Amino acid sequence: MSEVKNVVELEDAVIKFVGDSGDGMQLSGTLFADTAAYDGNDLTTFPDYPAEIRAPQNTVAGVSGFQIHFGSKKILTFGDICDTIVALNPASLRANLKWTKKDTIIITDSEAYDDSALEKSGYKSNPLTDGSLKEFKIISAPFTTLIKEAISDLNIDNKTTLKSRNMFALGIAFKLYGKNLDHTFHYLEKKFATRPQIVEMNKRVVKAGFDYAAINPQLECLYNVPSASMEKGRYRNITGNVAAAWGLIAAGEKSERPLFLGSYPITPATEILMEIVKYKSLGAKVFQAEDEIAGICSAIGASFTGSLALTTTSGPGLSLKSEAIGLAVITELPLVIVNVQRGGPSTGLPTKSEQSDLYQALYGRNGECPLIVMAASSSADCFYSAFEAAKLSIEHMTPVILLTDGSLGNGSELFRIPDTKDLPKIVAPLAKANDPNYKPYNRDEKTLARPWAIPGTEGLRHRVGGLEKENGIGTVSMDPINHELMVGLRAEKVQRVANYIDPQEVFGDTEGDLLIVSWGGTKGVIRDSVIEMKKEGYKVGHAHFKHIMPLPKNTEEIFGKYKKIIVCELNSGQFVGYLRITFPDFKYHQANKVQSLPFMIHELKDKYYKLLEK
């Protein structure tokens, strides 16, 4: 057979790799994404893990997936519907048919569809032969047989051979979308540098899948997604957790403060801890605590001693940290708390993503306990949001909660690596030695930040703790008038942060029929939905909020320019509830989804249409 010659050019494509947990489909997806990035495609990725560490094989609940949306244009979303699904077994196919359309390409291992696997996955007959997949383009191949032929002379045991099926599938996907094998080969050589036989096996298997796709008559054509036009610079495919870690490290450099992270591992935030620990050479200190409370308390101690102090967690861990967050608020010490949100309550959905912790971030402490709350909008934006969170925390001497989520933290995006010299300097309000006018709670006239007196600095001894302090001098005070004064000062200090953040921007029409409001990790899909509405002639705008407490100063002005406002969020309505409290004169409509899945563009547009028709 001759190689398929017809090549169709696409602006973008969505491919998803799925299989049992442990099949290596996360790795296959990552290698495909990295190769697309090296080829100059813009992209976003969306890993989808089961909660079980090793879920039962061939069960729908145990399916693990990795989705990549790549293209020659700016990619804002993970992609609604898949152009291609690479499914290693019937369970993974069944679990992902809901993300398909007519003519979706399905690449699958025909030898995985035995009676036992079909029964476990809920099939009564083989979908590859019963006609139920007739609307799709099926590429089924006997993966194991073809793999064994490719490595027959290497004397590899059967168990190891079967582990390479993900590499065969990857090879088919590479050929389908015109990708080369160089990056994957380099990865294999580095990963298994001490095991040359494993390197050779995986190389052959990838090449076997690649060659099979070249001659397979089931493939009517191949596809090419050209490079995107991007600003000159150095890029990498980066996850939100890694980006957040880098942003905090950069903040340590620009503030000239030693970096300290005190954290307890928790899904899906652990990778921030794992990334920062790599940078001891840059002065980063990491303490893996025995629990969440010890993690944040160690960070507060480090902040007292002059460090840029951090703690990272997810929703249940944030609950445990709440009392200590109150301590950081009342002592008025800088502290960055990164909360990578997941579905709750309680242990909830550890590997799934929601925007369900906003109320906890805003109100989840005893007493009058305000602090700065921010939310990152994309995996790459985690870098800039983490950097800004550190800057605001230090310069305003108050804790900051930075909300990301599992889809941003584990998902990835093409990221242009900035030069740290282009980042703004972070100016810590350090008290000077032997200052005759020093008092622990003297305040800057503009920010109301108190001075940061580092222990050991001559002449600046003072006490901190969870009991209320007397304004100015910092002694313990039970005076009711002083308490009311200090509560008001701490609240006003947070509100004055609005003078130091950018005004809220609006994409699209700056006045019109409908304002679409969002926050956090929903930016990309909502922005794409607005772009489509604009193309259809609707007069709509999009206000996506990064700064939540305090809100930008022009928020109320923006809201007043639209006939209707809809707030879109992946929870039951937390941001809209906050807006109703803050700006009660407006009527807010809602678009909510609590499935631990991202919005789809058509879901959002259906909501917009209904509002605009009223």
90 & 135 share domain:
yes
Q: Give the sign of the dihedral formed by CA 16, CA 19, CA 22, CA 28.
A: negative
Query: Residue 172 has which token pair?
Result: 């088919």
Q: Per-residue pLDDT for 132 more than 60?
A: yes
**Locate tokens 């304004």: which residue?**
471
> Of 189, 224, 259, which residue constitutes the final position of a domain?
224
204 & 252 share domain:
no
* CATH number for the domain that contains residue 532: 3.40.50.920
Within-domain flag for 548? yes
The confidence score (pLDDT) of residue 203 equals: 97
Within-domain flag for 535? yes
Query: Residue 464 has which token pair?
Result: 């901190």
Q: Per-residue pLDDT for 378 more than 90?
A: yes
247 & 210 share domain:
no
**Cβ neighbours, 10 Å, residue 133:** 18
4: pLDDT confidence band, cut at 50, 70 and 90? Answer: low
Nearest to 362 by CA among 374, 376, 350, 353: 374
The confidence score (pLDDT) of residue 284 equals: 96
Residue range 38-87, pLDDT digits in tens: 999 999 999 998 877 777 888 888 899 999 999 999 999 999 999 999 99
> Of 373, 395, 419, which residue constitutes the final position of a domain?
419
User: CA-CA distance, 570 to 580, in Å (whole number)?
Assistant: 17
User: CA-CA distance, 363 to 175, in Å (whole number)?
Assistant: 52
Instruction: Find the radius of gyration of the CA atoms of the chain.
Output: 27
Within-domain flag for 27? yes
> Of 192, 224, 256, which residue constitutes the final position of a domain?
224
Q: What's the structural domain count of the chain?
A: 3
The confidence score (pLDDT) of residue 49 equals: 86
Residues near 443 by beta carbon (within 8 Å), at least 6 away in sequence: 449, 450, 489, 493
Q: Are 219 and 139 in contact (CB under 8 A)?
A: yes
**Structure-derived torsion over alpha carbons of residues 327, 330, 336, 337, reported in degrees to the nearest 10:** 50
Within-domain flag for 159? yes
Residues near 358 by beta carbon (within 8 Å), at least 6 away in sequence: 373, 375, 403, 519, 548, 569, 571, 574, 575, 578
252 & 396 share domain:
yes
172 & 253 share domain:
no
Within-domain flag for 169? yes
The confidence score (pLDDT) of residue 217 equals: 85
**Locate tokens 């560490």: which residue?**
53
Strands 588-592 and 562-569, by their bridges, are parallel
Q: Are 355 and 548 in contact (CB under 8 A)?
A: no
| Structural element, H or E, at residue 256 | none
459: pLDDT confidence band, cut at 50, 70 and 90? Answer: confident
Tell me what the mean pLDDT of segment 228-246 comes to.
95
**Cβ neighbours, 10 Å, residue 372:** 24
**Single-letter code of the amino acid located at 303:** S
> SS3 sequence, 84-123?
EEEECCHHHHHHHHHHCCCCCEEEEEHHHCCHHHHHHCCC
User: CA-CA distance, 462 to 484, in Å (whole number)?
Assistant: 22
Tell how many helices (H) and how many strands (E) occur in the chain.
20, 22
- Residue 194 exposure: Cα atoms within 13 Å on the Cβ side: 0
What value, to the nearest 5°, has the Cα angle with vertex 365 and ends 342 and 595?
20
Residues near 550 by beta carbon (within 8 Å), at least 6 away in sequence: 372, 494, 495, 497, 498, 501
Query: Residue 537 has which token pair?
Result: 């002639």
- Sheet with 42-48, side-by-side order of all strands: 137-141, 105-109, 84-87, 12-20, 63-71, 42-48, 412-416, 235-239
The confidence score (pLDDT) of residue 455 equals: 92
Q: Are 590 and 576 in contact (CB under 8 A)?
A: yes
* CATH number for the domain that contains residue 42: 3.40.920.10
Residues near 3 by beta carbon (within 8 Å), at least 6 away in sequence: 214, 215
* CATH number for the domain that contains residue 355: 3.40.50.970
Within-domain flag for 401? yes
Give percent of the chain with pLDDT exceeding 70: 99
306 torsion bin: left (phi>0), alpha (psi -120 to 50), beta (else): left
Residues near 505 by beta carbon (within 8 Å), at least 6 away in sequence: 543
User: CA-CA distance, 197 to 190, in Å (whole number)?
Assistant: 13
Residue range 316-352, pLDDT digits in tens: 999 999 999 999 999 999 999 999 999 999 999 999 9
398 & 308 share domain:
yes
Phi, psi of 469 (to 5 degrees): -110, 155
User: CA-CA distance, 390 to 407, in Å (whole number)?
Assistant: 22
205 & 252 share domain:
no
User: CA-CA distance, 496 to 304, in Å (whole number)?
Assistant: 23
170: pLDDT confidence band, cut at 50, 70 and 90? Answer: very high
Residue range 190-213, pLDDT digits in tens: 999 999 999 999 999 999 999 999
Enclosing domain of residue 124: 7-224
How far from the centroid of its chain's Cα atoms is residue 268's Cα? 9
Q: How far is CA 93 from CA 26, 99, 173, in A?
A: 16, 10, 16
Do you know the residue count of the chain? Answer: 614
Mean pLDDT of the chain: 95
| Structural element, H or E, at residue 399 | strand 399-405
184 & 245 share domain:
no
1: pLDDT confidence band, cut at 50, 70 and 90? Answer: very low
206 & 250 share domain:
no
User: CA-CA distance, 440 to 27, in Å (whole number)?
Assistant: 52
Q: Per-residue pLDDT for 257 more than 90?
A: yes
Query: Residue 157 has which token pair?
Result: 């045991």
Q: Is 462 exposed, middle or buried (0-12, 13-18, 19+ CB in 10 A)?
A: middle
User: CA-CA distance, 374 to 44, in Å (whole number)?
Assistant: 22
Within-domain flag for 484? no
220 & 263 share domain:
no
Burial 251-268 (b: 16+ CB within 10 A, else e): bbbbbebbbbbbbbbbbb
Give percent of the chain with pLDDT exceeding 90: 93
Residue range 499-509, pLDDT digits in tens: 999 999 999 99
Tell me what the mean pLDDT of segment 243-271 comes to.
97
The confidence score (pLDDT) of residue 23 equals: 92
| Structural element, H or E, at residue 79 | none
User: CA-CA distance, 95 to 21, in Å (whole number)?
Assistant: 13
Residues near 131 by beta carbon (within 8 Å), at least 6 away in sequence: none
89 & 136 share domain:
yes
Within-domain flag for 471? no
User: CA-CA distance, 314 to 483, in Å (whole number)?
Assistant: 32
Residues near 559 by beta carbon (within 8 Å), at least 6 away in sequence: 515, 565, 583, 586
The confidence score (pLDDT) of residue 46 equals: 94
3: pLDDT confidence band, cut at 50, 70 and 90? Answer: low
Residue range 76-91, pLDDT digits in tens: 999 999 999 999 999 9
Tell me what the mean pLDDT of segment 550-559 comes to.
98
364 & 319 share domain:
yes
